[in-house]
Amino acid sequence: MELPVWFEIATFVGLTVLLLADLALVVRRPHEPSVKEATGWVVFYVGLALLFGLIVLAVTNGTFATEFYAGWLTEYSLSVDNLFVFVIIMARFQVPRKLQQEVLMVGIIIALVLRGLFILAGAALIEQFIWVFYLFGAFLVYTAINLVRHRDEDEDYEENGFIRRMRKVLPMTQEFHESKIRVVQDGKKLWTPMIVVFLALGTTDLLFALDSIPAIFGLTREPFIVFTANIFALMGLRQLYFLLGGLLKRLVYLSLGLAVILAFIGVKLILEAVHENQYPFLGEREPLESVPAIPTWLSLTVILVVLLVATVASLLKTRDESTEEHPAAEVERGEAPIGTETTGRPAPAPESDTRSS
């Protein structure tokens, strides 16, 4: 059964309106949301995702609904793990707390556009060469192994070459000017540090997509389900950033849980390619019935159980530890680890960034 075209169009129109309305609210009233406000929005977006899954079930069938829930949970859990890097980026550039909502919102929109292109390319590739699942599966298993190997190491953010180049070539002000990315000073048009922050969030999320997009293609081949699962996972990310705060430090087993999920999906992708009996340069043959194909309902069950166990185990292990303050909050008190200014001035670039290439 295929998804009705009218349903796909209506969904994208509705989600676009929702994103634009959310962006308008953030731009109109820049502020740091309270815990109550952030909780309300997180509950709203999670409830919206659960409701959308039920609508998919009513419009199509249980297969698409199960694929959506499995994909959404996977993308959401991977996004939670990436939140800590966003916290570091905010502190690294010393973004004022009242502007962080807008920064995250724009970063999320950039991420959606980039992921959309990534999803279209992946879908076209899979349509022509199902054996690419061998590559996707191997990459996910490799990523899972790396997560386990480095799970006890502190995460850090390093500017990529693109961001370093932008720092050098763009005429830029020293301070933030609210949420503006370009201003006029002394008759000259200058960029503000906000443009670098936007680029940092967007390019960092694109790197995150290298494992999340292949992972969700291991759960569904329907581009519509892949994209909507990503949208719903990213829409509540901004509020989750303010809600979790120091709780991120307590999720000590989240990376281990994500490693299990990625490894499971990686094996699922490889088994599916073998089951369909497709190999590079040999094309498609008769399906191998003796090779099992893992059903989506089992994938959803595994994802739910692993996330639940990882979360509960993390909270139990850290229950006696005091909750640390949100790292980005240090910026407002002048205690950020990089730089000394607290009035919206970005941290100076590391010494290595100022050298000529």
Residue that has been written with the tokens 């906000």 in this structure: 194
Q: Which position has the higher pLDDT, 349 or 150? A: 150
Instruction: For residues 93 and 163, give the distance between their C-alpha atoms in angstroms, rounded to a whole number.
Output: 12
C-alpha–C-alpha distance, residues 189 and 238, integer Å: 30
Q: Is the pLDDT of residue 300 over 80?
A: yes
Q: What mean pLDDT do residues 101-122 have?
A: 82
Query: What is the arithmetic mean of pLDDT over 7-18?
Result: 92
Question: In angstroms, what CA-CA distances link 291 with 219, 226, 306?
Answer: 17, 26, 25
Predicted structure pTM score: 0.74
Angle at 209 (CA atoms; ends 207, 210), nearest 5 degrees: 70
Q: pLDDT value at position 44?
A: 93
What does the pLDDT read at residue 288? Answer: 60
pLDDT at res. 246: 59
Render pLDDT for 84-106 as a digit per residue (tens, 0 to 9).
Answer: 777 778 877 788 877 888 888 87
Q: Sorting pLDDT into bands at 50, 70 and 90, what band is 329? A: very low
DSSP one-letter string for 192-221: -HHHHHHHHHHHHHHHHHHHHHHHHHTT--
Report whether 130 contacts 273 (CB < 8 A).
yes
pLDDT of residue 268 exceeding 70, the answer is yes
Q: Answer yes or no: is pLDDT of 142 > 70.
A: yes
Mean pLDDT over residues 300-328, rounded?
A: 77
